[in-house]
Amino acid sequence: MPERRPPDDDTVPEVGGIDTDILEQIGQHLERSNRFSETVFQPEYAPSSVVAEYDMGYFPTAIERAYLQVRWYETDDFNIHYSEQYATGDHWECRWDRHPNDHNTRSHFHPPPDAATPGDDVEYEEDWRDILSDVLGDLDDRIEAFWE
């Protein structure tokens, strides 16, 4: 298990630039999924993330919006953020992360309902396809639970 950085260590390395090739592949993968009604790169002129808007037919009417936002870096660090926005103004969020930090090991998960920091230390697969498949599987379980 990777060691946590000491709290007084202010030399946390950078995650590097956005890996535009992998980000484009992720966007294409998400576009092919029936889960999403729209997939956009943000900002359009110099993408740093891909945002996939869920098809709201998968959700109870109390949820007004659900989306997945993905950032992937040249260092193979990443941030995958999921959010549900409720008609009441409330939200439900979680986040899968791999990046240098001072609050967890490099690989960690910020659990719902508010993606609090620090999160839970975890290990992720190396390939983005495996990671994205695991995340989408977790979210499919979340959505299925609405209808059980």
Q: Where are the domains of the chain?
A: 20-146
Q: Is the pLDDT of residue 11 over 70?
A: no
The more confidently predicted of residues 13 and 92 is 92
Helix (H) / strand (E) containing 66 = strand 63-72
Q: What is the pLDDT of residue 35?
A: 96
SS3 148: coil
pTM: 0.88
> What is the number of other CB atoms lying within 10 angstroms of the CB of residue 147?
8
Q: What is the pLDDT of residue 15?
A: 77
pLDDT 10s digits, 22-58:
999 999 999 999 999 999 999 888 889 999 999 999 9
The alpha carbon dihedral of 130, 48, 83, 58 has a sign of negative
Q: What is the pLDDT of residue 13?
A: 58
Token pair in block for residue 108: 């960690």
pLDDT 10s digits, 76-124:
999 999 999 999 999 999 999 999 988 889 999 999 999 999 989 999 9
> What is the number of other CB atoms lying within 10 angstroms of the CB of residue 37?
13
Q: Among residues 31, 67, 29, which one has the least CA distance to residue 51?
A: 67
Q: Is the pLDDT of residue 3 over 80?
A: no
Average pLDDT over residues 63-84: 96
Q: Is the pLDDT of residue 8 over 90?
A: no
